[in-house]
Amino acid sequence: MRQILFAAAIGLVLSLVGTPVLIRILARNGYGQMIRDDGPKAHHSKRGTPTMGGIAFILATLVAYGLTKLLVGSAPTPSGLLVLFLMTGMGLVGFLDDYIKIVKQRSLGLRAKAKLAGQLIVGIVFAVGSLRFADASGVTPASTKLSFVTDFGWSLGPVLFALWAIFMILAMSNGVNLTDGLDGLATGASVMVFGAYVFIGIWEYGQTCGSAATAGPNCYSVENPLDLAVVAAALMGACFGFLWWNTSPAKIFMGDTGSLALGGALAGLAICSHTEMLLAILGGLFVLITLSVIIQVGSFRMTGKRVFKMAPLQHHFELKGWSEVLIVVRFWIIQGLCVAVGLGLFYAGWVTN
């Protein structure tokens, strides 16, 4: 368990200290956020705030994981490395998007097809890799079966599994991206979900099927669950440190660099811990905000009318007169409730299985 404490503490310190350094570098080079004219007017004052802040917590997470392994003398595992690869790969796609927005002064960043192609390449590599690297018991980081609190049903086969994994990665990365519209909102919500995955990883490790001394009949056939908890702890600590600078009034934004990376990490943790569908509850705020966009677009195309004053949902409440801090805190409360319900279902699934 020392690994989890080390990873969280190192990630926190590195992000807390490293983010202001990144702010100065980005500000010196003029890498500031562009604000769309059709957005809430209150956001116009944020124009020029340094963006691409996801670089800070991505690097902090990677270094925290590596230093933790050196400190405890433990080797990295395929599961942990795959999640880190997915986080970094999606972050790189986001970085290219941010870079083009800022340097090329193109408000939409990467062309939609190029951005999707980058996400697909990273997702495919992760999906293929997650079905390899079996341990001594023949268990791979991911399973071709669907999962909620554990695997169920029949095998999808490698092709359908890859499509399912890519859907999850795209859905969650874009969900976090849509949520990242107010200072600290996506960062704080992500911290809660990563905290949940620290608990899930520890619990699965204590009930691993290969550990006859501790596992009961409802054991988990998950490869390297403790290392998944280490990765989640490093991410939780790094996001906490970043939140210090990202909370209102934000000194830096995570940009697509950060939001795509966080969404990829969440999807990777869910797939490798065999809690894929549970992620929709644990990350309920991201799902809710994504649904608001789908409803808005669908309603406008079918009826010509808008359900919300503006989508994503947080901007609807801004236009209703709620303050930014009020929206963020209340949305954090919603996210906290989602995590509580998700962990309750996870535990109930173990008790009743």
How many beta carbons lie within 10 A of that of residue 21, not counting itself?
10
Which residues of the chain are modeled with pLDDT < 50?
44, 212-214
Q: Is residue 78 within 8 Å of 224, Cβ to Cβ?
A: yes
3-state secondary structure the chain: CHHHHHHHHHHHHHHHHHHHHHHHHHHHCCCECCCCCCCCHHHHHHCCCECCCHHHHHHHHHHHHHHHHHHHCCCCCHHHHHHHHHHHHHHHHHHHHHHHHHHCCCCCCCCHHHHHHHHHHHHHHHHHHHCCCCCCCCCCCCCCEEECCCEEEEECHHHHHHHHHHHHHHHHHHHHHHHCCCCCHHHHHHHHHHHHHHHHHHHHHHCECCCCCCCCCCCECCCCHHHHHHHHHHHHHHHHHHHHHHCCCCCCCCHHHHHHHHHHHHHHHHHHCCCCCCHHHHCHHHHHHHHHHHHHHHHHHHHCCCCCCCCCHHHHHHHCCCCHHHHHHHHHHHHHHHHHHHHHHHHHHHHHC
Cα distance between residue 54 and residue 93, in whole Å: 12
Q: Is residue 8 within 8 Å of 79, Cβ to Cβ?
A: no
How many beta carbons lie within 10 A of that of residue 216, not counting itself?
9
**What per-residue confidence (pLDDT) applies to 14?**
98
**What per-residue confidence (pLDDT) applies to 252?**
95
Predicted confidence (pLDDT) per residue in 98-143, tens digit? 988 887 766 566 788 999 999 999 999 999 999 999 888 888 999 9
Q: What is the pTM of this model?
A: 0.93
